[in-house]
C-alpha cells in the first residue's frame, strides 16, 4: 500500500502541474506541441521515456482492485501503450493534427486535472492516515 500511496502522490502532482500549464498557456503550448510533433526523432525519444515510465509502473504496481489503486495501474498501462506506439510509429504520429488550444485538448486537460486532484487527495490523505 505504501508504494500505491507514493505513486498516487507523484502521479497526482504531475497531473495537477502539466494540465494546469496547458490550460494557462494554451497558445504557447500549441506552438511548442506542433513543433515537437513535427519531428519524428522527438516523437521516438518521447516514446522511449513513456515506455520506461509505463514499464516501471506496470511492473511495480500491477494492482487491479476496485479502488483508487486501479487508476494508477491503468495510467501505467496507458503510458506503456503510448510509448510502444510512439516507438513503432513516430513518423505516423507527426501527421496528426495537434492543437492544444482546441476544445478537445481543453476538455482532456480538465479531465486530467480532475484526475490529478483526485490522486493527490487520495495519496496525501491515505499517506497521513498510514
Asked if pLDDT for residue 24 goes beyond 60, the answer is: yes
**Is pLDDT at 86 greater than 60 in this prediction?**
yes
**Across 46-68, average pLDDT:** 96
| Percent of the chain surpassing pLDDT 90 | 62
pTM given for the model:
0.85
pLDDT of residue 51: 97
Asked if pLDDT for residue 41 goes beyond 80, the answer is: yes
**Which residue from 109, 126, 121 is spatially nearest to 12, judged by alpha carbons?**
121
106 burial via Cβ count (<10 Å: 0-12, 13-18, 19+): middle
130 has a pLDDT exceeding 90:
no
Amino acid at each position: 500500500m505504501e508504494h500505491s500511496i507514493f505513486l498516487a502522490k507523484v502521479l497526482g502532482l504531475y497531473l495537477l502541474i502539466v494540465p494546469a500549464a496547458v490550460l494557462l498557456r494554451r497558445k504557447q503550448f500549441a506552438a511548442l506541441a506542433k513543433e515537437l510533433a513535427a519531428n519524428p526523432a522527438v516523437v521516438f525519444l518521447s516514446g522511449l521515456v513513456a515506455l520506461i515510465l509505463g514499464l516501471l509502473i506496470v511492473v511495480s504496481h500491477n494492482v487491479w482492485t476496485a479502488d483508487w489503486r486501479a487508476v494508477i495501474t491503468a495510467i501505467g498501462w496507458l503510458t506503456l501503450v503510448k510509448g510502444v506506439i510512439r516507438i513503432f510509429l513516430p513518423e505516423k504520429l507527426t501527421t496528426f493534427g495537434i492543437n492544444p488550444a482546441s476544445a478537445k485538448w481543453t476538455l482532456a486537460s480538465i479531465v486530467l486535472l480532475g484526475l490529478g486532484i483526485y490522486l493527490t487527495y487520495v495519496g496525501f490523505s491515505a499517506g497521513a492516515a498510514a
